[in-house]
Amino acid sequence: MMTEKEKMVKGLPYNPYDKELRKARTRSRQILRTISEIPEDKERQRKHFFKELFAETGQKFFIENPFICDYGSNIFWGENAYANFGCIILDAAPVRIGKNVMLAPAVKIFTATHPVEYEARNSGIEFAKEIRIGDNVWIGGGAIINPGVTIGNNSVIGSGSVVTRDIPENVVAAGNPCRIIREITN
């Protein structure tokens, strides 16, 4: 028998009100509150707490306050990756952020989702889909990355975009819904 946490991470329907999951969200909020109270010039101390919060980080990375996440334990943060002010990550499923990724202000990454059929949705059961962001990706301000999306290496997502499906490598994509605008060439 799987725990609700195991179901959640595997993308299966789960109960978000489970005691273990509520405890994990509380832990995340406590660590985030500590991080938000650390002065900006104490970067080593801030990194220590992000390393405690996340599943994995590179050695070199920077995340501006405020930063919000559900669990943190499902976030894999790449080397030299950066998040500007107001980043929100709902990490019920794994979120894999590659190296040299730039997240502009107010980027939102959502793995959590709900059934579309109202009776199932009203039951409170949720599920989540993993998100992968490749290396050298730049995501513009206010973009929203929806559950289950993969963004390929070296791509750029325009500001305000709503990414509802996979984006291949080496493209500029933008809009709502996000579509490929052009390939990136030298």
Going by C-alpha positions, the residue among 81, 69, 154, 150 that lies closest to residue 112 is 69
Long-range contacts formed by 169-176: CB under 8 A, 24+ apart: 169/134, 174/140
Question: Is 114 an active-site residue?
Answer: yes
| DSSP state letters, 7-68 | HHHTT--B-TT-HHHHHHHHHHHHHHHHHHHS-TT-HHHHHHHHHHHSSEE-SS-EEPSSEE
Distance of CA 35 to the CA centre of its chain: 18
Grouping H, G, I as helix, E, B as strand and the rest as coil, residue 163 is strand
Backbone angles phi, psi at 163, to 5 degrees: -90, 110
Choosing from 10, 25, 27, 114, which is the catalytic residue?
114
In angstroms and rounded to an integer, the radius of gyration of the C-alpha atoms of the chain is 17
* Active-site amino acid positions: 114
